[in-house]
């Protein structure tokens, strides 16, 4: 009997799981998830993501047990745990889906040094190193990258769940509850019940999105309505594959699915950037921004605290930050507005915001989070100029955020448009709602002055 280890990471599914399919085809399978916070370069998981992981693993354990297969849980450095499992089981081959974060790539190299590690493509539409320009180099700009990716699409059809998975029994496993992934004192995740982590939850989210898929391009920027898929945390944890989403969306809407599939493509593009620039969450993509004079000190800290708590005096920013804290998620248009406000209005280093999102987002993805923040900041390799500054009050009116603000900023629920978007300007600000931390024009002048100072003007 050939026995293989299935090493699971951010690929917590059975359907379209190429590593599982390959392992099951060769013989018995020992499926293992390792909670690895010891690998150098492996960023510790944020609190919201840990909440999701607990429930996703619970769902995956149930799905495996329905097929008579135990899911082994271990905690420690991945290479050490896998070497131990190879000794315990006699396995020499390990199947895994390839990952591209620096820590995971180092772990893969360490594992390959003592075992037959077979990596499978399954978490991206195409492996990042295969999308090349005419000179054989890597793309750094999204649009040409996207055009090149489209020549490789559609992705291969999803792989069914194996009809039979031969299990390995008697392997010791940690108790999931002992990992303490869930918050308790206090339990700040009481509002997270809007989510259903796990593969079944991912499938339900995709089915719920299909009726509005054709209207996605027109509705995705409107935070007051349900116009997006909310699939991002399911994608991050690999509870559904991008190939599955591509085929279902294309079948459902044909060419009308392109705006949505393009957004799925942005996730792959971010992985491409991290594969090229492993330190993208920490280092400016454009080195001249190393000279930009970000604010620091007590006043800047007070501003940052107000931003995290949704107390900036800008209703759409505050609504987004409160939604984030309550649910672990924020509407994508509002993410851009809130990020731009921290960077341009408050002149606080984008890495502070990136770290806050990493801690509070259930879909916190190293590549996507860094890429999005660097794009908004103008520091990224494919980003608009720093002087492009979102006007949050204008954005709020343009994208009709009235219902969104009423939901998340109840102090303003009695106001109607246009007053709800900028109550201070109309003398309508309730006493319970804070004054603006800074005026828009003042903030713009300060940001442009800092930008000029960076350029040496």
In a shared domain, residues 333 and 292: yes
373 is catalytic: yes
Residue 180 lies in a domain: no
Residue 352 lies in a domain: yes
Which of these is catalytic: 356, 373, 375, 408?
373
325 is catalytic: no
Beta bridge partner(s), residue 73: 33
Q: What are phi and psi of 340, to 5 degrees?
A: -60, -40
Beta bridge partner(s), residue 6: 31, 95
In a shared domain, residues 244 and 296: no
307 is catalytic: no
Please, which pLDDT band fits residue 38 given cuts at 50, 70 and 90? confident
E-strand spans in 125-227? none
Distance of CA 443 to the CA centre of its chain: 29
Summarised one tens digit per residue, pLDDT across range 361-392 is 999 999 999 999 999 999 999 999 898 889 99
| Count of domains for the chain | 3
Spatial strand order in the sheet of 3-8 = 71-75, 28-35, 3-8, 93-97, 116-120
CATH of the domain at 313: 1.10.579.10
146 is catalytic: no
Residue 184 lies in a domain: no
pLDDT for the residue numbered 42: 82
How many residues are present in the chain? Answer: 457
Q: Which of 185, 230, 205, 257 is nearest to 362 (CA)?
A: 230
266 is catalytic: yes
Which of these is catalytic: 166, 263, 411, 424?
263
> By the 8 A CB rule, do 317 and 307 touch?
yes
Summarised one tens digit per residue, pLDDT across range 152-183 is 999 999 999 999 999 998 999 999 999 999 99
| Residue given tokens 């044909």 in the structure block | 254
In a shared domain, residues 396 and 248: no
Domain end, chosen from 274, 299, 321, is at 274
Q: pLDDT exceeding 70 applies to what percent of the chain?
A: 100
| Residue given tokens 């006007």 in the structure block | 391
Which of these is catalytic: 166, 294, 359, 411?
294
Q: Which two tokens stand for residue 326?
A: 């309550």
Rama region for 136: left / alpha / beta (φ>0; ψ in -120 to 50; rest): left
- Alpha carbon distance 346, 303 (integer Å): 7
Q: Which of 162, 164, 130 is nearest to 148 (CA)?
A: 130
Q: Which residues contact 366 (CB under 8 A, 6 or more apart)?
A: 43, 101, 274, 281, 358
Q: Which two tokens stand for residue 411?
A: 């102090």
> By the 8 A CB rule, do 357 and 370 touch?
no
In a shared domain, residues 324 and 426: yes
Q: Which two tokens stand for residue 120?
A: 């499978």
> By the 8 A CB rule, do 322 and 310 touch?
yes
- DSSP assignment letter at 167: B
In a shared domain, residues 112 and 140: no
Residue 217 lies in a domain: yes
In a shared domain, residues 221 and 335: no
Summarised one tens digit per residue, pLDDT across range 191-215 is 999 999 999 999 999 999 999 999 9
Element (H, E) at 75: strand 71-75
CA distances from 57 to 17, 64, 239 (A): 15, 10, 10
CATH of the domain at 37: 3.40.50.620
Element (H, E) at 71: strand 71-75
Please, which pLDDT band fits residue 101 given cuts at 50, 70 and 90? very high
In a shared domain, residues 211 and 266: yes
β 3-8/28-35 pair status: parallel
CA distances from 80 to 112, 160, 240 (A): 12, 31, 28
Q: Which two tokens stand for residue 363?
A: 């879909």
Q: Is the pLDDT of residue 146 over 90?
A: yes
Residue 162 lies in a domain: no
- Alpha carbon distance 202, 218 (integer Å): 23
CATH of the domain at 255: 1.25.40.80
- DSSP assignment letter at 221: T
In a shared domain, residues 338 and 210: no
Domain end, chosen from 216, 247, 274, is at 274
pLDDT for the residue numbered 411: 98
Outline where 281-438 has alpha helix (H). 298-309, 315-327, 332-340, 350-360, 366-377, 392-398, 402-408
Which of these is catalytic: 252, 332, 411, 424?
332
Residue 59 lies in a domain: yes
Which of these is catalytic: 179, 188, 266, 325?
266
272 is catalytic: no
- Alpha carbon distance 93, 290 (integer Å): 45
| Residue given tokens 């750094």 in the structure block | 140
pLDDT for the residue numbered 1: 62
In a shared domain, residues 22 and 139: no
- Alpha carbon distance 377, 372 (integer Å): 9
Mean pLDDT of 317-333: 98
- Alpha carbon distance 229, 206 (integer Å): 7
Summarised one tens digit per residue, pLDDT across range 212-229 is 999 999 999 999 999 999
Which of these is catalytic: 350, 356, 358, 375?
350
In a shared domain, residues 328 and 430: yes
Q: pLDDT exceeding 90 applies to what percent of the chain?
A: 96
Residue 279 lies in a domain: no
Summarised one tens digit per residue, pLDDT across range 389-414 is 899 999 999 999 999 999 999 999 99
Containing structural domain, residue 326: 287-455
In a shared domain, residues 105 and 150: no
Rama region for 124: left / alpha / beta (φ>0; ψ in -120 to 50; rest): beta
Domain end, chosen from 252, 274, 296, is at 274
> By the 8 A CB rule, do 155 and 125 touch?
yes
In a shared domain, residues 349 and 259: no
């Amino acid at each position: 009997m050939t026995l293989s280890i299935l090493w699971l990471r951010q690929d917590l599914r059975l359907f379209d799981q190429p590593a599982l399919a390959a392992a099951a085809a060769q013989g018995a399978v020992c499926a293992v998830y390792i909670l690895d916070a010891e690998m150098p370069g492996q960023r510790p998981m944020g609190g919201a993501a840990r909440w999701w992981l607990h429930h996703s693993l619970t769902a995956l354990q149930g799905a495996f047990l329905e097929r008579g297969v135990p899911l082994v849980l271990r905690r420690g450095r991945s290479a050490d745990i896998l070497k131990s499992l190879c000794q315990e089981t006699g396995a020499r081959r390990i199947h895994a889906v390839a990952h591209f974060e620096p820590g995971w790539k180092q772990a893969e190299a360490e594992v390959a040094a003592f075992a037959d590690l077979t990596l499978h493509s399954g978490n991206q539409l195409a492996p990042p190193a295969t999308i090349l320009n005419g000179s054989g180099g890597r793309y750094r700009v999204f649009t040409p990258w996207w055009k090149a990716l489209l020549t490789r699409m559609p992705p291969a059809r999803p792989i069914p769940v194996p009809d039979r998975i031969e299990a390995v029994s008697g392997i010791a496993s940690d108790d999931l509850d002992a990992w303490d992934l869930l918050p308790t004192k206090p339990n700040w995740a009481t509002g997270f019940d809007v989510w259903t982590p796990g593969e079944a939850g991912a499938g339900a989210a995709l089915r719920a999105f299909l009726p509005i898929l054709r209207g996605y391009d027109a509705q995705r920027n409107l935070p007051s309505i349900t116009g997006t898929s909310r699939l991002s945390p399911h994608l991050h944890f690999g509870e559904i594959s991008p190939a599955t989403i591509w085929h279902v969306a294309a079948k459902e809407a044909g060419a009308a699915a392109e705006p949505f599939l393009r957004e799925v493509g942005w996730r792959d593009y971010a992985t491409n950037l991290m594969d090229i620039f492993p330190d993208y969450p920490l280092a400016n993509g454009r080195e001249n921004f190393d000279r930009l004079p970000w604010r620091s000190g007590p006043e800047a800290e007070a501003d940052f605290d107000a931003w995290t708590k949704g107390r900036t005096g800008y209703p759409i920013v505050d609504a987004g930050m409160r939604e984030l804290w309550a649910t672990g998620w924020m509407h994508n248009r509002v993410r851009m507005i809130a990020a731009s406000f921290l960077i341009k209005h408050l002149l606080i280093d984008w890495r502070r915001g990136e770290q806050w999102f990493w801690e509070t987002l259930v879909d916190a993805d190293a590549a996507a989070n860094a890429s999005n923040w660097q794009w908004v900041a103008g520091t990224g390799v494919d980003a608009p100029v720093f002087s492009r500054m979102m006007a949050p009050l204008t954005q709020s009116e343009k994208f009709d955020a009235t219902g969104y603000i009423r939901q998340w900023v109840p102090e303003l629920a009695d106001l109607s448009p246009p007053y709800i978007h900028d109550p201070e300007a109309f003398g309508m600000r309730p006493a319970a709602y804070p004054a603006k931390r800074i005026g828009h024009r003042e903030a713009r002048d300060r940001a442009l002055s800092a930008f000029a100072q960076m350029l040496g003007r």
